[in-house]
Chains A and B, each alone.
Chain A
Amino acid sequence: MTPSLEIKNLAFEYPDGNQALFGIDLVIQKGERVALLGPNGAGKTTLVLHLNGIHETQHGEVFIAGIKVDGENKETLKQIRSQVGIVFQDPDDQLFMPTVEEDVAFGPYNMGLREKELAAVVDESLNAVGMLEFKDRPPHHLSFGQRRRVAVATVLAMKPEILILDEPSSNLDPASRRELAEILEKLNITVFMVTHDLPYAYELCERSVILSKGKIVADDSTKNILGNEQLLKSNRLELPKGFKI
């Protein structure tokens, strides 16, 4: 089966000469949930922005469900962007329309859905994250946890091949954090989750990779990685005090 995500020898240098990625290789199979762990400044966000062609690939290749991410090719780029659902860290960046409903409609509308089909997709996605009753509300009136859930719905509405979450548990209270985990577990979709929240990665992802200084330094089961204290320590990662695998 074609993997959901395949990255081959990806390298990237910012215009100011600062190199962020040094030859990344990674394959994520369909249906897998993988956590991307790494300290601040490891290049996690840079990597994520390569996956839907926001950053153009300078060196190496990225494939989504077998299709090459190519900034030059507008047609495939459009397809790629509908297949890679990125949930950004700050829901206020992601929810830019005046109401929840319109925001969830934004993606599928751009893909060409209209009228009844559009409405059906919006309802289905909001239902999947348990936010259907908040359809007509402006995002500003929702709690942070609710906004994050709506943000997940906005990308689910595009029926992505792979769901990419940037720090999904950040700023959530414990109950919202758990509710989001329950929702994600139910989704039955390939997930690539960028996080520092190691227990969250343990709870949701079978497999983890550690990105450090622009390189993948570990790729193993989350259990093995989190159990390797030396490995975590050398990459500025720590389990919360008292947490045992």
Chain B
Amino acid sequence: MTFLAKISILVLLKRSTIEIPFILFAFLMPFFGTGETIKWGVFTLYEAGLVAGLTLILKGTIGVMLAILLSTTTTAREILNGLEKLKLPKLLVQIATFMLRYVNVVSDEMFRMKIARTSRGFDAKGIKDWKVLGHSAGSLFIRSYERGERVHLAMLSRGYIGTLPKVHHIHPERKYLAFSMLLPTLALIFTLIDRYINS
């Protein structure tokens, strides 16, 4: 899939480093637990923990890989459109849309405040400086809140009716739909085979 999506392995590996803390945790799991144990060299491993740890790593890795694939091949805007099509409540999609629009505005504002602090000789060193940072965070929050009110005014002024416009309607071709069903179908088949063997 990585190959099909034309993403370099390097990018994939770099982005999947986010998973490392979870993997470490999963590695610890076999050492704690109750029940059957397995001897492996000098270690005594618990079977239940081993299985749980391995599945955690597998599931986690698959999840992270899929998320990376989605985020590198699809723009945030398209993901939101997709969520709306998948019937995520409209309000949630709208909130996420606004977040997407304003995350840069707010982070710029935060950055300007930081420059303003530094320009007047502030240097966050320890706990006693947290008060200043707290004030900054507070005023950033109030500014954002007030911006929210102004944006709402601007929306009302243009006759907001509860839905955001969609300019481009994307109708995926049949072959893409079929292709996207490939993995779930395979998973279903394997599950069924597994059931059949074990019954």
Contacts and interface: CB of A to CB of B under 8 A. Distances in A.
B100 A98 contact: yes
7 contacts: A81-B158, A101-B167, A106-B158, A106-B160, A108-B165, A109-B165, A110-B160
Q: Which of A110, A154, A158 has the most CB of B within 10 A?
A: A110
Contact of A139 (B101, B151, B155, B156): B101
B159 A81 contact: yes
A99 B164 CA distance: 12
Interface in B98-114: 98, 100-102, 104-105
Contact of A88 (B76, B97, B154, B163): B154
Given A93-B147, A97-B164, A154 B105 contact: no
A90 interface: yes
A84 interface: yes
Contact-residue bracket for chain A = 35 or more
A54 B153 contact: yes
A98 B97 contact: yes
A105 B160 CA distance: 12
A90 B159 contact: no
A130 interface: no
B162 to A, nearest CB: 9
Interface in B71-112: 76-77, 80, 97-98, 100-102, 104-105
B98 A111 contact: no
A8 B163 CA distance: 35
B157 A54 contact: yes
Contacts of B158: 81, 106-107, 110, 154-155, 158
Contact of B165 (A52, A54, A92, A106): A106
Contacts of A216: none
Interface of A: 49, 52, 54, 78, 81-82, 84, 86, 88, 90, 92-99, 101-102, 105-111, 118-119, 122, 138-140, 154-155, 158
B159 A78 contact: yes
A126 to B, nearest CB: 12
Given A96-B101, A98-B100, A84 B160 contact: no
B150 A97 contact: no
Interface in B141-197: 147, 150-151, 153-161, 163-165, 167
A80 to B, nearest CB: 9
Contacts of B156: 54, 81
Nearest to A86: B157
Contact of B164 (A93, A94, A102, A140): A102
B19 to A, nearest CB: 29
B97 to A, nearest CB: 6
Contact of A97 (B97, B153, B157, B163): B97
Contacts of A93: 147, 150-151, 153-154
A138 B105 CA distance: 12
Given A99-B77, A105-B165, A140-B104, A49 B153 contact: yes
Nearest to A95: B101
Given A96-B98, A97-B97, A98-B100, A118 B157 contact: no
Nearest to A79: B159
Contact of B101 (A81, A86, A97, A122): A97
B159 A96 contact: no
